[in-house]
Amino acid sequence: MHRFIEEEATRQENMEEITKKSLSYLKEESDPSKMEDDWVTNFFDKSRMISDGEMQTLWSKILAGEANSPGTYSKRTVNLLSDIDKKDAELFRSLCRYVWIVGNFTPLIFDAQAKIYNVNGINFISISHLDNIGLVNFQSVGGFKRENLPEEFEVSYCGEVLKLTMPNDSSNILKVGCVMLTQAGYELARICDAPRVDGFVEYVKDKWRAHI
């Protein structure tokens, strides 16, 4: 009985700490009363087990994000996050260091064995692991591409904008590497705050040299 009481007290403390941390991420116009009861119940059922400070911060951002704009985070994403340990979260954050905005969040992984990725722990094995836990789709052969692009458009990386000019007036194709975010990965990438990688803009420019 003592052990049960101690465990429940710890879980209560976890929920309170996550809620307290979420306050700094709330917008003035947010209205938490609009959040779905089922979502809130599911969120706290999963988050009460989280005691690590950094992971609590991640959970608090999700809680605040949902309060700011209900429907931003699905229950499926919350459930997936509950199965992710800190090591997985850190690996995903490393991947997000290579995310560009190409229409939406897109990790530009052109060669999983290239040094610029490997120095930050991103390689064939680690990407395959992120695929297995449901955060990315990994196609080592063939890769992904953006289709039906206009002649001119902009992409960006950590606020730095790059203008691309394609060969045709419309229906252009741009290769974007071998990794795409799943819906859950996309939702989590929005709150990762991953720092840029030195030299990565130049690396991508070399890949897209014909379009710059």
Read off the pLDDT band of 80 (50, 70, 90): very high
pLDDT tens digit sequence for 147-161: 999 999 999 999 999
Q: For the residues 190-210, what does the mean pLDDT come to?
A: 93
Q: Which residues contact 55 (CB under 8 A, 6 or more apart)?
A: 86, 89
| DSSP code string of 82-147 | HT--HHHHHHHHHHHTTEEEESEEEE-BS-TT-HHHHTTT-SHHHHHHHHHTTSEEE-SSS--EEE
pTM as predicted: 0.88
Rg (CA), the chain: 20
Sequence spans of domains, the chain = 2-82, 86-211
Q: Would you tell me how many other CB atoms lie within 10 Å of the CB of residue 124?
A: 15
